[in-house]
Structure 1
Amino acid sequence: MSVSLGEEVMLLSLDDESGVAKDRASAGWAVAGGTLLELVVRDRVRVASGKVSVTDTTPTGDALLDERLDRLGEWVRRHRSAKVTDWLAKDQPTVVRATVRRLCERGLVVEEKHRTLGLFPVRRYPEADCTVERELRDRLHRVVVQGARPDNRTSALIALLHGARLYGIAFPDVPRKEIEPRMAVIAEGEWAADSVRRAIRDMQATMAAVTAATILAVT
């Protein structure tokens, strides 16, 4: 089963048993960044100098991506200075919900409804089918821990995870000091077209700034 970069980040962030999202704030930005980057990789969107533009409105055939592409196109038309940071800030809450819904539709997670203190509704999304996430984690382990050569999509995902500092959700059993240098090398590598690398640098800068602000807010 083929899943998008944003869906991969979402799968990594959801606890398999409890269905609770880990590192919720940073993961949310990475899901938004991954969805945008997927559109860049598919030549529908261009990101350059911190701005985003739609270059091709042809549907991708993926319902989640096509919905984001339509929303982005409408937003860009209304904003002369269409900054990546502004789009990610606007899209992040809705794209996370849309991505989780898509994972439910695919049968990869299942929605469970609970009430906290018997009053407040809470939704959780435990794993229903582990095959996609298992393959994803095996692929990341081979590249980051074992040193295998990454393909373009794996490199893009690693760059997103590194930019958002999501080391713990990707490698929960490996000390950060053992994987961060390797992820940094991959993120800066000459593995993709210039347009994709520029997009990743812009999104990394955004996610790093938001992550740092989040850390300061809770310390």
Structure 2
Amino acid sequence: MGITLAEEIALLSLDDESGVARQRQAAGWAVAGAILLELVMAERVSVSGTYLELRDATPTGEPLLDGRIPLIEAWLRGRDKRKVTDWLTKDHPKAFGAALESLGERGLVVAHVHKVLGVFPHRRYPEADGAVERALRERLRDVVLQDTDPDERTAGLIALIHSAKLHRLAFPDRRHDSVAPRMEEIAAGQWAAESVRAAIRDVEAAMVAVTAVTVLTATS
């Protein structure tokens, strides 16, 4: 496996030159959802309806994913299952940063830290190697704009981008209404086993629920 779905979403969100994350809040939810989805695909957790269960605590060999397994295990605290929305809410503040750190360890971005007013750390992650992002964007264009059949991972990535409304990050030169219908079609398509499609649907529903609460809280 190349970089994870979560790292791909984080990479799309970063401005190549400044290293500033765009749409950070929404991208954070998508990254948390992407980590969870990959754990489902790796058969380490299961998502059914509104609930999350840990199925296997064996490491996957991917540090970003493996770092979440003991956290989920501790979070469950002996319970068989808990709500997906509760886990996403818990992981959201840290998941994006973890994905950025992982990109740095791969040498794809470089962390720059300076202190605002001499006190508050401000981090930027300018791109160090653009080849991976270029290949990623080409893959997305082939599937969304050229109607190429997606593989399971690409379809999952597109579904997450669509549900988090990150269309502009993936296709900055395209109008929302020119890409959203195809992305919706992919998200709902017959591109994977029923168990994975069901997990995508349930993770998407959970992301919509938690982001709706965030928006209401911010505007109240």
TM range (shorter): over 0.9
- Tell me which residue corresponds to 1:156: 156
- Tell me which residue corresponds to 1:135: 135
Residues 26 and 207 in structure 1, CA contact (< 8 A), matched pair in contact too: no
Amino acid at match of 1:180: A
Do the aligned partners of residues 26 and 79 (structure 1) sit closer, same or farther apart at CA in structure 2, a change above 3 Å counting? farther
Distance 1:218 1:117 in 2: 28
Do the aligned partners of residues 68 and 149 (structure 1) sit closer, same or farther apart at CA in structure 2, a change above 3 Å counting? same
Q: Deviation at 1:115?
A: 3.1
CA RMSD of aligned residues (A): 1.8
Residues 109 and 128 in structure 2, CA contact (< 8 A), matched pair in contact too: yes
- Tell me which residue corresponds to 2:104: 104
Task: Determine if the alignment matches structure 1 residue 6 to structure 2 residue 6.
Answer: yes
Q: Which deviates more from structure 2 when the two are superposed, residues 163-172 or residues 53-62?
A: 53-62
Give aligned-pair identity as a percent: 55
- Tell me which residue corresponds to 1:126: 126
Q: Which deviates more from structure 2 when the two are superposed, residues 17-26 or residues 108-117?
A: 108-117
Residues 6 and 99 in structure 1, CA contact (< 8 A), matched pair in contact too: yes
- Tell me which residue corresponds to 1:93: 93
Distance 2:132 2:63 in 1: 19
Residues 47 and 195 in structure 1, CA contact (< 8 A), matched pair in contact too: no
Task: Determine if the alignment matches structure 1 residue 189 to structure 2 residue 189.
Answer: yes
- Tell me which residue corresponds to 2:76: 76
Distance 1:214 1:168 in 2: 20
Q: Deviation at 1:25?
A: 0.8
Q: Deviation at 1:96?
A: 1.7
Any idea what the Cα deviations from partners look like across 1:107-151, whole Å, max 9, x if unmatched?
A: 011001123345432111111111111111000001001111111
Distance 2:77 2:194 in 1: 25
Q: Which deviates more from structure 2 when the two are superposed, residues 15-24 or residues 203-212?
A: 203-212
- Tell me which residue corresponds to 1:198: 198
TM-score (norm: length of structure 2): 0.93
Distance 1:25 1:67 in 2: 21
User: Runs (4+) of structure 1 moved beyond 6 Å?
Assistant: none
Distance 1:192 1:88 in 2: 23
Do the aligned partners of residues 72 and 121 (structure 1) sit closer, same or farther apart at CA in structure 2, a change above 3 Å counting? same
- Tell me which residue corresponds to 2:49: 49
Q: Which deviates more from structure 2 when the two are superposed, residues 207-216 or residues 139-148?
A: 207-216
Distance 1:52 1:211 in 2: 18
User: What are structure 2's unaligned runs of at least 5 residues?
Assistant: none
Amino acid at match of 1:140: L
User: What are structure 1's unaligned runs of at least 5 residues?
Assistant: none
- Tell me which residue corresponds to 2:169: 169
- Tell me which residue corresponds to 1:178: 178
Residues 32 and 95 in structure 2, CA contact (< 8 A), matched pair in contact too: yes
Task: Determine if the alignment matches structure 1 residue 16 to structure 2 residue 16.
Answer: yes
Residues 115 and 121 in structure 1, CA contact (< 8 A), matched pair in contact too: yes
SS of the residue 1:46 aligns to:
strand
